[in-house]
Amino acid sequence: MTDALERPASVLVLGATSEIARSVVRAVHGPALRRLVLAARPSAERGEVAAAFADVADVEVLDLDAADTVSHAALLDGVFSRGDVDLVLVAFGVLGDQAEFEDDVDAAVDAAQVNYVGALSVCLRAAQRLREQGSGVLVVVSSVAGMRARRSNFVYGSTKAGIDALATGLSYALEGSGARVMVVRPGFVRTAMTAHLDPAPLAVGPDEVAEAVVRGLRRRSTVVYAPAALRLVMTALQHVPRPMFRRLPL
Amino acid sequence: MSSPFREVDVPVDDRLLTGWGRTMPSRARVVRVRDVDDVVAALTSPGPRGVLVRGAGRSYGDAAQNAGGTVLDLRALDGVEVLDDGDVVAGAGVLLAALVPLLLARGRFLPVTPGTRFVTVAGAVAADVHGKNHHRDGSFGDHVRWIDLVTADGRLRRTVPGDPDHDGDLADATIGGMGLTGAIVAVRFATIAAPSTAMSVDTLRYDDLDSLMAAMVESDATHRYSVAWVDGMARGARLGRGVLTRGDHADREAAHTAVPDPEGPRVAVPPLPFGVLTRTTLSAFNAAWFRRAPRRREAEPQAVARFFYPLDGIGGWNRLYGPRGFLQYQFAVPDRSVEVVRLALERFAGLRAPSFLSVLKRFGPARATSPLSFPLAGWTLALDLPVGAPGLAAALDELDGLVLAGGGRIYLAKDSRAVPATIAAGYAGLPRFRDMRDRVDPHRILVSDLSRRLDL
């Protein structure tokens, strides 16, 4: 069970090798954490993450193929049948390249399959289990890119817009169930996924995203931005008229 | 979902439940049982997430909630009888508030009462509550004659503490057992004589912790009731300054001069969108409360409620901390570890965590036969703290370490943030308690959020 200081005793991470996910686990782990389930594609990093936390919690490592939605039911049922889960973190996603997506539509469909369809599949299934459990929080890593389409990354942005809307809707659906949803909207995050790009203004590191997550959990927030200032920036940008927005260097 | 009840009209509704601290909401199917048969029906057809009884919901943390499972509301079991020998036989859901006037009218009083009268009799047993007279009269469980308990197998048994022929060890595990040994449906307990409806009270003010504690040790021998309010915000030379109130039931002559208790709460706190208890307001409040107390006033006649239940006069005072809620940290340490009390006060006065109420009490001997009973001979300190205070988690974890190193433990009825290892280290009887659960509830039908969180 999560305690009064919103420290979870058991955490399931979907997309456990993502840098944001690793930072979040580091930030929520503490004396209260007892069980950590790390689901990701098999990789050396996955083993490293598991090893890093083996001393502080019971660590379970599972294979996750985000695009293979048929496999998600068995994965989540298994995790919940072996014990309660206080926090489910959905952190997998691919960034891709806008120019490539416009040339190679199959690549764009694959990205949508992971970022939107795959995330939808795990979010809805996790929400069912959390509802039965009568407690717990689903933390979904979205992106400010989903809030208003931009010329430079609208394929990625559209996948995040989809999962953001789904997670927001789930937060309404779960009201009164004891379970809840928190949507995380980072801006530009300096990670391996973005290493080839010039950092945008208000860029943050994965640890700053994790801090925002922990702060949001403590406050029982429904949406958190990383950095927090992006809330204002995005509110402003959403109201910029289309002709002007198109010309902004975003 | 199919109903396990004889008739479909048993009131059932899905609700979010929290403790008095208003943290950690979880949803349960709340069933308002009508009689013992309903309790048996619920226990013998539990869902996948078990069953728990909730009393008046006055435990601070997650002791009276069962996420995703069934929670039984036994307030319909409200029968009361005061026997000729002064004993009370009460249904599980009877509030102590209902018993106080009944008993006073017969020249009797509760053997032990916590700081609120809005707890149920079954809750008082399950948490093995203590009062201001622990140094003299022990905990509530010390006055229990028998407990009617429906165990997980649906059997109703009359259990008698200490009596091997009547499930004595089960009764003892039930006292302080946080509702995890079965559903308490009725209790018989002894009462004490109260020659009048008033208390004779001394109020004494001390400028530092040493003089306060010395006076409290002295009062053990001279007064039945004793408790100190400590200014949790005072630091330095004023650390631990406080107001000791001690008293006894007044004789008949003194009684008529006491101002009678009001009927209900005098004021009520509405739901607030933010907390009003901040560091600034609480520093001011604590200082004002301290100065308001007389340096020394003796044998003042006081009504029972004013002496025992000062906070009951403010309806919903738990809302003062705002929507995020608060927690109470209560620990007990043996006399030899008295320094832990000082360290705790120092730690919290230094933290930016305002404490509304800090209460210091003396404890008499522990109830060794009850594995999860909290009190142990020495000192107990309780601090109310808002959960949003920065650094609170680390400060409390650190304090747990000091309490354990000092041979102490923390109170399950108040807890909302401890970890399993802290409880296992503080309660030597925990393995014995788990053995009892293995015996009477091998499938763990009786569960709570507390039992899950702390692996009880």
Written as tens digits, the pLDDT of chain B (456 aa) is: 444 444 445 678 999 999 999 999 999 999 999 999 999 999 999 999 999 999 999 999 999 999 999 999 999 999 999 999 999 999 999 999 999 999 999 999 999 999 999 999 999 999 999 999 999 999 999 999 999 999 999 999 999 999 999 999 999 999 999 999 999 999 999 999 999 999 999 999 999 999 999 999 999 999 999 999 998 888 888 889 999 999 999 987 665 666 666 556 667 777 776 777 777 777 777 777 777 788 889 989 999 988 999 888 777 888 888 888 999 999 999 999 999 999 999 988 877 666 777 999 999 999 999 999 999 999 999 998 888 888 899 999 999 999 999 999 999 999 999 999 999 999 999 999 999 999 999 999 999 999 999 999
Inform me whether the C-beta atom of residue A176 falls under 8 Å from chain B C-beta atoms. Answer: yes
Chain B residues in contact with chain A using a Cβ-Cβ cutoff of 8 Å:
14, 16, 21, 23-28, 49, 61-62, 66-69, 324-325, 327, 387-388, 392-393, 397, 416-421, 449-450, 452-453
- Residue A6's pLDDT is 93
Q: Which among B15, B351, B385, B417 is the top mutation candidate for probing chain A, defined by the most A β-carbons within 10 Å of its own β-carbon?
A: B417
Structure tokens at A186: 């980072």
Least confident interval from A4-8, A35-39, A241-245: A241-245
Inform me whether the C-beta atom of residue A129 falls under 8 Å from chain B C-beta atoms. Answer: no
Contact A2 B27 (CB under 8 A): no
Closest residue in B to A6 (Cα) is B24
CB B177 within 8 A of CB B167: no
Shortest alpha-carbon distance between residue B36 and chain A (Å):
26
Contact A31 B419 (CB under 8 A): yes
Dihedral over Cα of B319, B324, B325, B328: its sign: negative
Q: Tell me the DSSP string of B370-408.
A: STT----SEEEEEEEEETT-TTHHHHHHHHHHHHHHTT-
- Collect all residues of chain A within an 8 Å Cβ-Cβ radius of residue B16: 176, 178
Nearest to A93 by CA among A74, A69, A119, A129: A119
- Residue B1's pLDDT is 40
Contact A178 B27 (CB under 8 A): yes
Q: Give the mean pLDDT of A2-22.
A: 96
Q: Which of B69, B392, B421 sits opposite A5 (nearest CB)?
A: B392
Inform me whether the C-beta atom of residue A30 falls under 8 Å from chain B C-beta atoms. Answer: yes
- Residue B4's pLDDT is 45
Shortest alpha-carbon distance between residue B187 and chain A (Å):
31
- Collect all residues of chain A within an 8 Å Cβ-Cβ radius of residue B424: none
Q: Which of A5, A30, A134 sits opposite B68 (nearest CB)?
A: A134
Contact A4 B417 (CB under 8 A): yes
Contact B26 A134 (CB under 8 A): yes
- Residue A23's pLDDT is 96
CB atoms inside a 10 Å sphere around CB A21: 27
Residue at token pair 């808002």: B386
Q: In the structure, how many helices (H) and strands (E) does chain B have?
A: 14, 21
- Collect all residues of chain B within an 8 Å Cβ-Cβ radius of residue A179: 27
Closest residue in B to A83 (Cα) is B452
Count Cβ atoms within 10 A of the Cβ of residue A30 and give its class: 0-12 exposed, 13-18 middle, 19 or more buried. Answer: middle
Better-predicted residue by pLDDT, B386 or A18 = A18
CB A86 within 8 A of CB A11: yes
Structure tokens at B318: 């738990």
pLDDT > 90 fraction of chain A, expressed in percent and rounded: 84
- Residue B261's pLDDT is 63
List pLDDT tens digits, range B316-362: 888 888 888 999 999 999 999 999 999 999 988 877 666 777 999 99
One-letter identity of residue B320: L
Contact B325 A133 (CB under 8 A): no
Instruction: Please name the helix (run of DSSP H) or strand (run of DSSP E) that holds residue B288, with its range, or none.
Output: helix B279-292
**Distance (Å, rounded) from C-alpha A40 to C-alpha A51?**
14
User: What is this model's ipTM?
Assistant: 0.91
Q: Which of A4, A31, A179 sits opposite B387 (nearest CB)?
A: A4
Q: Which among B26, B329, B399 is the top mutation candidate for probing chain A, defined by the most A β-carbons within 10 Å of its own β-carbon?
A: B26
One-letter identity of residue A148: R
Q: In the structure, how many helices (H) and strands (E) does chain A have?
A: 10, 7
Q: Which of B24, B61, B68 sits opposite A132 (nearest CB)?
A: B68
List pLDDT tens digits, range A131-159: 999 999 999 999 999 999 999 899 999 99
Contact B453 A3 (CB under 8 A): yes
- Collect all residues of chain B within an 8 Å Cβ-Cβ radius of residue A135: 24-27, 67-68, 449
**Distance (Å, rounded) from C-alpha B213 to C-alpha A130?**
49
**Distance (Å, rounded) from C-alpha B33 to C-alpha B5?**
9
Inform me whether the C-beta atom of residue A81 falls under 8 Å from chain B C-beta atoms. Answer: no
Inform me whether the C-beta atom of residue A83 falls under 8 Å from chain B C-beta atoms. Answer: no
CB B341 within 8 A of CB B333: yes
Inform me whether the C-beta atom of residue A244 falls under 8 Å from chain B C-beta atoms. Answer: no
One-letter identity of residue A23: S
Q: Helix, strand or coil for residue A94? A: coil
- Collect all residues of chain B within an 8 Å Cβ-Cβ radius of residue A30: 393, 397
Contact B325 A1 (CB under 8 A): no
- Residue B211's pLDDT is 96
List pLDDT tens digits, range B157-215: 999 999 999 999 999 999 999 999 999 999 999 999 999 999 999 999 999 999 999 99
- Collect all residues of chain A within an 8 Å Cβ-Cβ radius of residue B24: 1-4, 135
Q: Looking at the annotation, which residues of A are catalytic?
A: 156
